[in-house]
Amino acid sequence: MHFQFKSLLWVLNLFMVCFAAMEAMPTTLEGPFDPKTRRFDPSLRRGSTDLPLDDPRIRRNVTGSFPEQISLALSSPSSMWVSWVTGEAQIGKNVTELDPSSVGSEVWCGKGSGNYTTKKSGVSMVYSQLYPFEGLEPGTRYYYKCGDSSIPAMSEEHTFETLPLPGPNAYPRRIAFIGDLGLTHNSTTTIDHVTENDPSLVLMVGDLAYANQYRTTGGEGASCFSCAFPDAPIRESYQPRFMEPLISKVPMMVIEGNHEIEPQAAGVTFKSYLTRFAVPSEESGSESNFYYSFDAGGIHVIMLGAYVDYDRTSAQYAWLVKDLEKVNRDVTPWLVAAWHSPWYNSYSSHYQEFECMRQELEALLYQYKVDIVFSGHVHAYERMNRVYNYTLDPCGPVYITVGDGGNIEKVDVDHADDSGKCPKPSDNVPEIGPVCHLNFSSGPAKGKFCWDTQPEWSAFRESSFGHGILEVLNTTHALWTWHRNQDVFRDDVRGDQIYIVRQPESCNPIGQVIL
């Protein structure tokens, strides 16, 4: 009893320290905040070059059919997907078709290092391999190998920890948010910093490896990449090898961006995305890997597709209504959504590009009181005040743009409210989907396409590469931190930090949406 009493005191003291920190740090309850811009530091480079193929972080470090590019993804609270690649990619006009049955697909798994009590066989595809598990215990560490034991070609031992079951008192330790990553030196810095943050889950909000750009000639939906970047290596489409040390032990959940479209012959699109990445579409009632949902402890996460139909007659809209109706806020108090292209964006780049999607879906997300929305696409950072329909609203979501992972297209530095930087409506047109650009009907920007000053719904913006970390503390408070790549990674160095506070009593779901 004495030990339990001491332990209880420690927990109470920790709880008190946590809330003491809340008092000193800004929260969304103090908002809306006056718009703030931190201009791009001219002493920094806006971008960096791609990693060369012989860089040890992306160089192939296995031979034959041994597994590489091992990654994890959530399937359900009691199951995990394991994916990997075997063999060398073939590039050129005369490639030899591979027989997926020639390589076995096994995962050995157990709760102790070297003690694999479960052995499962999976399915193989020419392009990628995906392996579902069932019956894992939540909040438990597992050790695993994968590959083909008949050759033998099994990987080294890896480990992962399952997330807690859905519930109001259990949350992932940290969730990392990354967008528009690429394969540059900046990209590796981002992943190094994410790894140092020790997340238990990674959300990638689109534009992963920019694989569609690595072609020698232009084509529909893609420019001549080698013309723009003559010194960049021409590589096959692959998940960055430098991510394996992280995502072989931490699940990564992905959603498609425009660079995953990859237009090919015969109208084929999204081939790499659909084949490489395992997502719980079936588990969440979706019939498409372009949109799905999952639970991470007391958080219900909705991943939406910006490059498939989303209007009110679409399958995605119908699925979203059903998914939101099933959310039990007593079990998963936090409701988080993510998609690639931001609705609220004050940069010139991609300004109002997805206004159609906002007009179709915003009312639905507002009705069900989504707490936070994450997007990428714009290569910079921006955090909004709570907003709905371009109006400050204490019950609207906090929108955050983290399209600052480090890709070769450089940091976006121009704002739509800068003099001479307001784009033409014809400048920002999505690769897939309609256009709904509008002039504002009221407020400081009435009758205009762009604001003359930083919009009141834009709380903070900065042009830098980086990543974000979300730490949900309880049913009402979550700590959001944005880390910049140029900063020395320390706990006390932050590009932006704020407590996001839910107010369920004053922001109850209301109304009904009619299909």
pLDDT at 22: 45
318 vs 86, 164, 311, 325, 338, CA distance in Å? 38, 29, 9, 11, 17
102: Cβ contacts below 8 Å, ≥ 6 apart: none
pLDDT in tens, 227-261: 666 666 655 555 578 899 999 999 999 999 999 99
> What is the H or E stretch that residue 226 is in?
helix 225-228
The pTM score is: 0.83
Question: Mean pLDDT of all residues in the chain?
Answer: 86
| Per-residue pLDDT reduced to its tens digit, 24-58 | 789 999 999 999 999 988 888 888 878 887 888 88
Question: For the segment 298-340, what is each residue's pLDDT rounded down to a tens digit?
Answer: 999 999 999 999 999 999 999 999 999 999 999 999 999 999 9
Residues in the chain: 515
Distance CA 468, CA 388 (A): 23
Domain 67-87+100-162 top-level CATH class:
mainly beta
How many Å separate Cα 311 from the centre of its chain? Answer: 23
Virtual CA dihedral for 339, 343, 344, 345, nearest 10 degrees? 80
Contact 208, 376 (CB under 8 A): no
Confidence of residue 21 (pLDDT cuts 50, 70, 90): very low
Structure tokens at 330: 């007593």
Q: For residue 56, what are the contacts with CB-CB under 8 A and spacing of at least 6?
A: none
Beta strands across the sheet bearing 36-38? 36-38, 458-462, 381-384, 398-402, 372-375, 334-338, 299-303, 292-296
> Could you give the CA distance from residue 361 to residue 513 in angstroms, rounded to a whole number?
11
**pLDDT value, residue 94:** 59
The residue from 158, 350, 377, 467 that is catalytic is 350
Q: Which of 399, 433, 403, 438 is nearest to 316 (CA)?
A: 433
Beta strands in 355-465 (DSSP E): 372-375, 381-384, 387-388, 391-392, 398-402, 458-462
φ, ψ dihedrals at 274, nearest 5°: -70, -25
- pLDDT (0 to 100) of residue 15: 39
Q: Is 350 a catalytic residue?
A: yes
CATH code at 28-54+171-501: 3.60.21.10
More confident residue, 327 or 69: 327
CB 260 within 8 A of CB 180: no
pLDDT at 44: 85
Contact assessment for residue 191 and residue 415, using Cβ atoms and an 8 Å cutoff:
no
Q: Express as a percent the part of the chain with pLDDT over 90.
A: 63
pLDDT interval class at 126 (50, 70, 90): low
Q: Where are the domains of the chain?
A: 28-54+171-501, 67-87+100-162
**How is residue 392 written in tokens?**
């400050």
Q: Which of 58-72, 259-273, 447-461 has the highest mean pLDDT?
A: 447-461
Could you read off the pLDDT of 135-165 as tens digits, one per residue? Answer: 789 999 999 999 999 888 999 999 999 999 9
Higher pLDDT, 103 or 378: 378
pLDDT score at 229: 66
Rounded mean pLDDT of 347-353?
97
Tell me if 373 sits within 8 A of 306, measured CB to CB. Answer: no
- Residue 466 token pair: 């980086």
